[in-house]
A and B are shown apart, each in its own frame.
Chain A
Amino acid sequence: MRWTIDHASPERLQDQIAGCVRRGIAGGELALNDQLPPAAELGEALSVNRNTVLAAYRQLRDEGLLEFRRGRGVRIAATEQATQPVIDAAADLLALARDHGLDRPAVFRILKELP
């Protein structure tokens, strides 16, 4: 999967790494039980400390998205939790658009024009 982080961003590196995993799950790049790279290897490739990667992994484990298993590494434990809030928000958006007389293509156009 692709990992993109910005060392110059004010957002914490561990949050950016956690965001990459969430995007990977939401986009279907990561499936249930997929194994993530060991923290030391990912840290080396991203030029961040392994403890930063571990902090991101722990954050996602606490959210229920990852599980740590001895001998099996870090794996994806859930794929629904990350996308459900977005699906709910999208449903609310479509309902709001209907109230204002906008159909789905009009909403898609608005979304595409967003930066």
Chain B
Amino acid sequence: MTTHTATGPRTIYTGRTTNWPVIVPTVVLAVLLVAMGSTGEGGRGGSGDFAVIVALLAIGIAANILTASSVRASAGPNGFDVRWGVVGWPRCVYRLDEIQHAEVIDLPWYRVTWGLWWSPRGTSCTVRSGPTVRLTLVNGRTVTVSVPEPHLAVRAIHEARRP
């Protein structure tokens, strides 16, 4: 990733949004899984398939917690950086010269994706409705990201683009 030379004042915005609609069912599923394990359900007779199902569920739960529990964004001279979950992956970086326009939109609930969605027209990293950052890239694609203070994020991009 290209970074701007570190000289003079530098203002950035950082924000983190928790993806509760993913965390809550994941935790419920994990509790059920532990309860099933502790009571030995399915452990008797023909347990091979059961073990595989449990292993797959456990992997799914771990993957959800690690990659979809929250979305962290930073905006500033290095562009707009979006990272997911505990480990910061998946990660999307949009440099300033890739961004044509940044604005705050009011996202309706039926357009929330509750995770990372990619389509030829755009990328969506939304976990709640309401004010949301919308970037329009120079290639025509749009990027929609949930951040706690979208106006501050857009302001940081506009300030970074000023000569």
A interface residues, Cβ below 8 angstroms from B? 1-8, 29, 35, 37-38, 41-42, 44-48
- Asked if B74 and A47 sit within 8 Å, CB to CB, the answer is no
Bound complex: CA A42 to CA B115 (Å): 23
B11 close to A44 (CB less than 8 A): no
Cross-interface CB contact of B9 among A6, A29, A48, cutoff 8 Å? A6
Q: Which residues, 50 to 70 on B, are CB-close (under 8 Å) to A?
A: none
List chain B residues, Cβ under 8 A from A7.
6-10
> B-side interface residues toward A, CB under 8 Å?
3-16, 72, 74, 76-78, 81, 83, 88, 149, 152, 156
Task: Among B4, B8, B72, point to the contact of A37 (Cβ < 8 A).
Answer: B72
User: DSSP class of A's interface residues: helix, strand, loop or mixed?
Assistant: mixed
Knowing A2-B152, A7-B7, A7-B8, the reply to whether A45 touches B74 (Cβ < 8 A) is: yes
CA distance in complex: A36, B110 (Å): 30
State whether A4 touches B9 (Cβ < 8 A): yes
Q: Is the CB of A3 within 8 A of B9?
A: no
Cross-chain contact B14 with A45 (CB below 8 angstroms): yes
Q: How far is the CA of A6 from the CA of B9 in the complex (A)?
A: 4
Cβ contact within 8 Å between A38 and B3: no
